[in-house]
Every structure is written in structure tokens, then in C-alpha cells.
Amino acid sequence: MTTSTVSPASAFAEVGPRRTTLDNGLTVLSEHIPGVRSVAFGAFVLAGSIHERRETMGVSHLLEHMVFKGTPTRSAKQLSLEIETLGGSLDAYTTREYTSYQARVLAEHLDIAADVIGDLVFRPLLRDDDLKLERNVILEEIGMMEDTPDDLVFELHNALMWGEHPYGYSILGTRETVGALDTGALRALHARAYHPGRVVVAASGLVDHDALVDALVRTGWGALTPGDATPLATHVPTASAPAYAHHTDKELTQTHVVFGAPMPKHADPRRYALSLVSMVLGGGMSSRLFQRVREELGLAYAVHTFQSFHHDVGMQGVYVASAPETARKAADAIRGELARLVDEGLPADELAAARRQLKGQVTLSMESVTNRMYRAAGQVLYDEPFRPLDEVLARIDAIDEAEVLAVSREFFAPEIHTVLSLGPKAVG
């Protein structure tokens, strides 16, 4: 195995995660955080919805559910019981690019977390009878999403914006694709992706790196057979030309609207300026959109920006929900704020306040062992070097009016947004 350590690079002497690659290709990262008693432990499988074909849409998410149905040595109940009876938690989720399995436990229970997660990730039974039941659970989840307009509108917007690329697919899949998936499809994905060469382990909290590696070896992770570490097939998405679409639903009492436009990928250094602009525009009660659309005009209860940075691309946008008779006014108000941002950027005083706000948010997020686990894993998930907190804060401090104006004009202009509305009335 090979091991490396990031050198201290900040005024806080933040060493950052240690990293080891086992002989079978498993990547292990950990960050010791003094003053806590818990550990966040996660296994990140490098397979997600962007690696799917349209006819197998939802297979990654279905497999995430199915691994919890039992292993040769543990029932479905035992998998969760072993963690929860210790006061810990066990969870999983599927994203565009990876599938995460994670536990939060007291430090002395790290071996148990590693054993349970290793068992369910690498040795699931994947039985036909379990699939019949779990397929119904997924269909209920799809139904819940379809009955929740502020979720459904984002699904519809993704499909409009990304077209035939898997970024436009639903992570849950559709009723048709989920209904057609069988255990053969699940086993094929498991064989292709659920092996040491496609898995990243990250832990953060009261954890010693060498002890973590020893725990993984003791619980069988080091004995796993290496697999094909070649990245799963995909390609960089290209957003469709800006467009507007409306889905009529006369049963709704509000019209839900999403504006969205592509942004650079996670590793792009402009990410910090883009995050700052999005925060100022719609990141809280003091944001421009909240103050304008809700406080001044009274057109909406919910209005906010959103953003996501992926390995190959990013996306930002605005969500608002308004009564059908005022939805067009709310959308026009959003376009007005976008246009003002493009024309004027941010004045010096507002920019200074925004830098303080963003630095505060970043710093506070580092007090979560789970967030620190995600940051450690991100070095592999996004091919990025570790950046100590002081370096991140310095990058935020370096954002100036010229950079804000440049990213605003390139990524926030109202005319580049794809807009989708859902409800009784279109917003045009």
C-alpha cells in the first residue's frame, strides 16, 4: 500500500486528510479532528445516474436500496440494528456521479461501522423476491415526488435543460424503467462498480488514520478482489439552447417556476465567485430576491437560488412559487434582478458584506464531521487537491468587483436561462 500526508498550509496548522491506497486499489482518506467523540465513515462508489442508459434509468438508485435487503450473514433488520443500537446512524443516497453509504458512530464503534458497510456494499444478496418488494418502494418514492410540485418542477427542468444527456435523467428513474429492471441489471452494475478500484473510503472525526486502515483490513476490505478501475462510460454534457416550457396542472394552487443555466465544473477556480453571487442573489432572507420578490412585492413565500457543481459541469438557477395570477410578475421580478446584477455587479460595500457572509458559512460548515468527511472524499470525487481552510478564505477575500461582474455577465444573464413552469398558468 502507499500512504501520503498533506503538509500543513494554514495559520491554523490544518494538516488535512491522510491518504492510503491499499494493494487492491481501495482509496482511503481520513481527517483527525480533536475535540469530538464521533466518526463519520463513508464509502463512495464511483457510479451514479450519469453512467446509466435511458432504458436502465434508476438502476444506481435501485441498487442502493437493494443492498440493504440483506447479506449472507445479516438480515435487512440486522444491518441497521447493529449501528442504531449503538446510538449511531446508517444512511445512503445516490447522486449524479456516485453512490454514498455512510455511518455516524462513536469512535470506539468504528470497526462495527466498517464491517456493516463493507458487508452491505460488497456482499448483498440481490434476491428476486426482495426486488419485487423494493420496486414498489421506489415506485412509491416516484409517486411522492410527482405529488410534490417543488420537487417535480426540478425534474422537469433538468429534462428540458439537458435533453438526452443523463444529467437530464431522473435519479429515481421512471415507472417504466424501474418496472423493467431485474436482478440481472443490478448484478451487472454491482460487478462493474462495487469493487475496491471504484470505491473511496473517507472518515472524519476522532479517527487515527493507521487505525482506520487496520480496521478496514480486519473487517475484510483489504482482502477484496481488485476489479476493473476504468471509469464508467459517460461524456461531458451540453445544455440545450435556452428555452421556456410550461406543464399545466390545474389542481395546483401555485405556479412553480425554475430558472436554470449551466456553470463551470467543481474544479473551476471561479466556483468561489459564483457561489458568492448566488448567495447574494437568493441565498437567504437578506438576499436580493427574497427582499424584492417577497418583502417588497409580496409575490411569493418561497424564492431562492440553487447551485450544484459536478465533475464535468455545474448549474445554477432560481426557484419561485407564486399564485397563478402573480406568477408572471414574480418571474419578471427575478429577470429584473438578474439584469441588474449583470449591468451593475456588486458595489464595494455589498461585496465586502458578501465575502464575510460566505467565509462565515464555509468556516461554520467545517465544524461538522460529516462535512469534513465529504471534503476529504472530494479530493478523489472531483480530482481536486486539498485546500486548507485558510486558503479557501483567502480565495474568497480575493474576489473583487471585476470578477463578480465578469461571472455575472457570463453565467447569470436572464436570457441564457432555461425556464420551466408547472401549475395552472404559464408565466411566458
The reported pLDDT for the residue numbered 13 is 57
Residues contacting residue 176 through CB under 8 Å, at least 6 positions apart: none
Please check whether residue 104 lies inside any domain of the structure. yes
Residue 64 annotated as catalytic: yes
Ranges under pLDDT 70 in the chain: 1-13
Please check whether residue 404 lies inside any domain of the structure. yes
Please check whether residue 228 lies inside any domain of the structure. no
CA quadruple 3, 370, 382, 287: dihedral sign? negative
The reported pLDDT for the residue numbered 3 is 61
CA quadruple 122, 125, 130, 136: dihedral, nearest 10: 20
User: Of 418, 428, 420, whose CA–CA distance to 149 is shortest?
Assistant: 420
Is the Cβ–Cβ distance between 282 and 290 less than 8 Å?
Answer: yes
Please check whether residue 86 lies inside any domain of the structure. yes
Annotated catalytic residue: which of 31, 52, 64, 82? 64
Please check whether residue 299 lies inside any domain of the structure. yes
Enumerate the β-bridge partners of residue 307.
316
Query: How far from chain centre, in Å, is Cα 351?
Result: 27
- Tally of domains within the chain: 2
Question: 66 phi and psi, to 5 degrees?
Answer: -70, -30
Do 286 and 323 fall into the same domain? yes
Please check whether residue 66 lies inside any domain of the structure. yes
First to last CA, the chain: 59
Please check whether residue 203 lies inside any domain of the structure. yes
Do 288 and 168 fall into the same domain? no
Burial (0-12, 13-18, 19+ Cβ within 10 Å), 424: middle
Maximum alpha-carbon separation in the chain: 64
Do 211 and 255 fall into the same domain? no
The reported pLDDT for the residue numbered 412 is 98
Distances in whole angstroms, Cα of residue 218 to Cα of each of 115, 136, 224, 243, 307: 9, 37, 12, 55, 40
| Domain assignment of residue 336, given as a range | 244-423
Please check whether residue 229 lies inside any domain of the structure. no
Do 280 and 160 fall into the same domain? no
pTM listed for this prediction: 0.93
Question: DSSP E strands: which ranges in 206-301?
Answer: 244-248, 255-263
Q: Among residues 192, 223, 254, which one ends one of the domains?
A: 223
Do 410 and 290 fall into the same domain? yes
* CATH at residue 260: 3.30.830.10
Do 190 and 294 fall into the same domain? no
Do 409 and 372 fall into the same domain? yes
Is the Cβ–Cβ distance between 102 and 373 less than 8 Å?
Answer: yes
Do 204 and 259 fall into the same domain? no
The reported pLDDT for the residue numbered 9 is 37
Do 123 and 31 fall into the same domain? yes
CA gap 166, 81 in Å, rounded: 36
Do 213 and 288 fall into the same domain? no
